[in-house]
Amino acid sequence: MRLFRALVTMLVITALAYVANPYYHLYRIGHELAAGVMVETSQLVDLGSIRQQHKKSAARDVDAVVGEGQDAVSGLLRRGAKALTDAGVDAVIDEQWLRRKLLGTPAGSFWSRVDHAFFESPTRFLLRLGSLGDDPVHAYLELRDWRWVLTEVYD
């Protein structure tokens, strides 16, 4: 009976630690952003992944406008638009962009903007900054090597 209690206690503690872990990482991300720490080199934020997600979204938008045609003109338009959007995303999405999205104003508070923060799946955590009616920012953390990393930010 004592072994069973010990096992149940360990399972409960492990589950609580797992549930609390992304909130701790959000605290660290908010603290680093407010303190002006370089998030480009942070282990908590993957700016490359955030840029890649925006490039994919732009490519889908281009495909919707240009169409799926295989002719030379649509291929040329798609390649030109891809080059322009890739360059634009790389130029726009940087640390300052991330701070503006997550903190709002330069003196903004990260936690005062959090409206929703909970698991979307066991390895994906959703963060919503602002209420649904006020054009919120959605951010996703992904579990990588037992560490939660900010990988996506959307308007």
Residue 5 scores a pLDDT above 90: yes
Share of the chain above pLDDT 70, in %: 94
Contact 50, 151 (CB under 8 A): yes
126 confidence band (pLDDT: 50, 70, 90): very high
Residue 18 scores a pLDDT above 70: yes
69 confidence band (pLDDT: 50, 70, 90): low
- Average pLDDT (11-23) is 95
Residue 108 scores a pLDDT above 70: no
> How many whole angstroms separate alpha carbon 99 and alpha carbon 72?
41
Residue 40 scores a pLDDT above 70: no
Mean pLDDT (the chain) is 88
